[in-house]
Structure 1
Amino acid sequence: MDSIKKKEDQNKQQLIRQHVDIAKRAVQLYDLKNYPLAKYIFILALEGIVKLQKQETDPELKASLTQKANDYFQLAEQCKKQLDVQNKQLQADPLVQQINLTMLEKKNTVKFEDIAGLKEVKEALYESIIYPNLRPDIFQGIRAPPRGILLFGPPGNGKTLIAKAVATESNATFYNISASNLMSKNLGEGEKLVKALFQCAYVNQPSIIFIDEIDSILKARCENEHEASRRLKTEFLIQFDGANSSDQDRVIVIGATNRPQEIDSAALRRFTKRILIDVPDDNTRLHLIKYYTKDAVTTLNEKQMKELVKKIDGYSCSDIKALVKEACMLPLRKLKKNELLSVDSTKIKPVSIDDFTEAIKKVPPSLQKKELLYFKNLVKEYNKQV
């Protein structure tokens, strides 16, 4: 019993040291006047200490934890006061109001558990974003997370969904950007919008700026390029990794594209972490078929499911959804118009393997094998560059 109690005490002390180390990191950031991130980390340490304090039975240790919790709360409040001043100045800017209205995702509830497969991708994102946000005392200096992450690969495999899940899992503020958000008919407004966007992301750290179809914004520069487009890219690169940025900031830019070869080389260099979002593997295809057919009556057994999975090798996630929808519609198409309007829903013929075989003829994969091979070769090329 003594050995068990000793082990529990050691684990308890280790957890306390962990939260104290996190708070020390917040103090460092406070001294550097990085109030947004300092506030976030103080709250992180405070939540951990309060949880331990509620579970503690030793009066002396409980009092010590209570004092620590009060100290962290006071420091978080000081950060909040400094941020209120910055926020008041920002909110007066019409561009910031526009960003909050059109780019800030306020109701993002997507989690990794909602996304089938992509185990290696999730692990890479945990290491690059989620763990650094939850353990800022460890991931600093040379271990600091990358500032830019590029999600590339064939279309229809959930790049946007993954970016939203990352923001939810890491408790980060999420800005969803597209070319239409940044382009303006007024000369110079696009650059001001980019600058205001990064200022908002800084104040609301940790933040994720997600740019879907990033090749449409950061396309390779050329001689006959429009001046407004060139200036927008230049401002973006300055804000991304220029004189106004700091290694202490937790503002991460995630770009998604299925045409990475068109991205400007200066922009591509800033995306030091490049992750392939490939077509689903066997297990993921099986999971997707089961998920999309959960509301339909089918006669598919496990053996037929596995045969179907092999037949649709190379299908993207969106292709599989379209295929299942087509297969589920076939029993209805076999009914006459009068029958369709009067038939009992419980007496509709179940979806069979024959329906899926017929659906495959009508819904072929949207991606050719040479396209899939291109992305795999691109990964090898990026690995050589690293």
Structure 2
Amino acid sequence: MATDEPSQTRWSFLEFKTFYDAKFGRKKLPEEDVSNKDQPEDGSSNGNNGDVNNNSSPVTNQDGNTALANGNVIREKPKKSMFPPFESAETRTLAESLSRDIIRGNPNIKWESIKGLENAKKLLKEAVVMPIKYPTYFNGLLTPWKGILLFGPPGTGKTMLAKAVATECNTTFFNISASSVVSKWRGDSEKLIRVLFDLARHHAPSTIFLDEIDAIISQRGGEGRSEHEASRRLKTELLIQMDGLQKTNELVFVLAATNLPWELDAAMLRRLEKRILVPLPDPEARRGMFEMLIPSQPGDEPLPHDVLVEKSEGYSGSDIRILCKEAAMQPLRRTLAILEDREDVVPEDELPKIGPILPEDIDRALSNTRPSAHLHAHLYDKFNDDYGSQILK
């Protein structure tokens, strides 16, 4: 054996030291030399005197640091794990199923792409955006709103507002529906609710969007109501978790949407501190939608947007989109009628161009499209008078 070869006792001590540091979390200092075991048996040096070798392959140890093949350790900023430490494997399995409802992509819905609804957009910015940008102002009595309810007729833009929150706000967005938290196995539904809020607090700041919340927490008990025990447990757990948010410092915001606000439980209405009516679009909002969906093309006959705004009273945003689609289908139908008379299939490069939308196409679209939600608008106005929250100008 060469005289400069490390002894067996010294070699075992270094191996034990490296294992202990990796196992129990002791961080090695950059100048700490544990590279003796990487030296050749003849005791010769690798020539870098402990410096980082560019040819060394990095290996991540249990501390989250990057260990090079020569024994040096590069300390890195620890990354937040996907899941908090759970008490059991069953709970972690539930968390993995809920993680599929986290929106990681960008819905690409901007505030500017939503016409009208200035009141709702202002409140959402006040509740989500500003507390993240300026947390100094939001403490004590001015702690951020923990819950907002968006209610109104179908098709007025409640879900689009939620998508705008996911796009514009730098928060983890949980898109939750009844299928996400309801399970056929006894006890799993309330566990899913608890794990959902644990995940939201772990990834704070975060937003939990409960779409069609009336399907999850309608009124409990009462005269003439038969309710399953599992449903009551789920609702109770949701109410407990929302009320418990007030005792934590993490910014977790609950955004709920419904078409049937009068079906919600009174305890849930208390926890949803701001209740915002998302009404049918006003004339200015309707004009903006028409100009965005079917703009007048240069050189073509101007479209009668004024007529559209006047005759679309009571239409929701979804109805206006259907109306514009019907108007755009008219010139396509004329083109398809020409192609239908052809026996052979026309090659793609020889297809005729679709003509412009004519004013008579607008009249035909209006006659073929009817509003879908205007008959119940007075019910939302009454609920807004009883429970609604507005911004005083």
Alignment partner, residue 180 of structure 1: 179
104-113 or 83-92, which deviates more: 83-92
Q: CA deviation at 1:269?
A: 1.1
| Contiguous gaps of at least 5 residues in structure 2 | 1-76
Q: CA deviation at 1:161?
A: 1.6
Residues 198 and 384 (structure 1 numbering): CA distance in 2 closer, same or farther, change over 3 Å? closer
The gaps in structure 1 that reach 5 residues or longer are 1-79
Check whether the contact 1:298–1:351 (CA below 8 A) recurs between aligned residues: no
SS in 2 for 1:87: coil
Aligned positions, number: 303
Partner of 1:125: 124
Whether 1:372 aligns to 2:377 is: yes
Following superposition, the deviation at residue 348 of structure 1 comes to: 3.4
Cα 1:128–1:195, aligned 2, differ >3 Å: closer, same or farther? same
Contact 1:150 1:255 in 2 (8 A): yes
| 1:382 CA displacement | 1.6
More deviation in 87-96 or 181-190? 87-96
Partner of 1:147: 146
Rounded to whole Å, the distance in 2 between the matches of 1:156 and 1:384 is 21
Task: Give the CA deviation at 1:309.
Answer: 1.1
> Of 104, 107, 111, which residue of structure 2 is paired with 1:106?
104
Partner of 1:59: none
Pick closer, same or farther for the CA change 1:107–1:296 going to 2, 3 Å.
Answer: farther
**CA RMSD in angstroms, aligned pairs only:** 2.9
For residues 276 and 230 of structure 1, what CA distance do their matches in structure 2 show?
A: 28
Q: Counterpart in 1 of 2:96?
A: 97
Larger deviation: 117-126 or 374-383? 374-383
Q: What amino acid maps onto 1:276 in structure 2?
A: L
Aligned to 1:160: 159
Query: For residues 318-362 of structure 1, what are the alpha-carbon distances to aligned partners after superposition, in whole Å with 9 as ceiling and x for unaligned?
Result: 111111111111223342412696596665332112111111111
Show the counterpart of 2:19: none
**How far apart, in 1, do the equivalents of 2:299 and 2:172 lie?**
42
Q: Which has the larger radius of gyration?
A: 2
Cα offset for 1:205? 0.6
Letter in 2 for 1:174: F
| More helix as a share of residues | 1
Deviation at 1:264, TM superposition (A): 0.8
2:84 alignment partner AA: N
1:225 is aligned to: 227
Partner residue, 1:357:
363
| Contact 1:297-1:351 within 8 A present in 2 as well | no
Deviation at 1:287, TM superposition (A): 1.9
Q: Please list the CA deviations of residues 108-127 of structure 1 after superposition, one character each: whole Å capped at 9, or x if unmatched.
A: 34321232222222111111
Rounded Cα–Cα distance in structure 1 between residues aligned with 2:271 and 2:279: 22
TM-score normalised by length of structure 1: 0.72
Give, as a single letter, the amino acid of the residue that structure 2 aligns with 1:240: M
Matches within 5 A, 1:194-213: 194-213=193-212
CA distance in 2, matches of 1:298, 1:98: 54
Report the secondary structure of 2:84's partner residue. Answer: helix
For residues 1-386 of structure 1, the aligned pairs below 5 Å read 84=81, 87-89=84-86, 93-101=92-100, 103-108=101-106, 109-222=108-221, 223-242=225-244, 245-246=246-247, 248-294=249-295, 299=300, 301=302, 304-334=304-334, 335-336=337-338, 337-338=340-341, 347-368=353-374, 370-383=375-388
Distance 1:141 1:193 in 2: 31
Q: Distance in 1 between matches of 2:354 and 2:290?
A: 20
CA shift in 2, pair 1:296/1:157, >3 Å: farther
Query: Residue 10 of structure 1 aligns with which residue?
Result: none
Tell me if structure 2 keeps the 8 A contact 1:299–1:353.
no
Deviation at 1:248, TM superposition (A): 2.5
Matches of 2:389 and 2:156, distance apart in 1? 25
Q: Which stretch shows the higher mean deviation, 188-197 or 279-288?
A: 279-288
Give the ranges of 4+ consecutive aligned residues of structure 1 lying more than 6 Å apart after TM superposition.
295-298
Structure 2 Cα separation of the partners of residues 87 and 130 of structure 1? 25
Q: Give SS of 1:211's match.
A: strand
Q: Which amino acid aligns with 2:327?
A: A
For the structure 1 residues 333 and 87, does the alpha-carbon distance in structure 2 shift closer, same or farther, using more than 3 Å as the test?
A: same
**Matched AA of 1:254:** L
Higher mean alpha-carbon deviation, 258-267 vs 343-352, is at 343-352
For the residue of structure 1 that corresponds to 2:153, the secondary structure is coil
- Taking the aligned partners of 1:266 and 1:228, their CA distance within structure 2 comes to 18
